[in-house]
Amino acid sequence: MMIGKGGIAPLPDPVALRILADGAGYSMLRLDKAGTSIAHTWHPTLEEAQAEAARAFGVGAEDWVAES
């Protein structure tokens, strides 16, 4: 949910997800079509971030692509 001048509105669906190590854990970013982060969640392990992606968005372990 987003809170703004008009009140509370649902977040748009992401077009991509990205998991980044942040030193103390992992942030899963939800990206819009411009590649801008529209929301994120924090997870203590990569496995927990991937499990949240699977639960929330149906992303399987085989769907992840390593960035070069």
For the chain, the DSSP string reads: -EEETTEEEPPPPPSEEEEEE-SSSEEEEEE-TTS-EEEEEEESSHHHHHHHHHHHH---GGG-----
Residue 2 confidence class, pLDDT cut points 50, 70, 90: low
Query: Which tens digit of pLDDT belongs to each residue from 16-60?
Result: 999 999 989 999 999 999 989 989 999 999 999 999 999 999 999
What is the residue extent of each domain of the chain? 13-63
pLDDT at position 48: 96
Residue of higher predicted confidence among 1 and 64 = 64
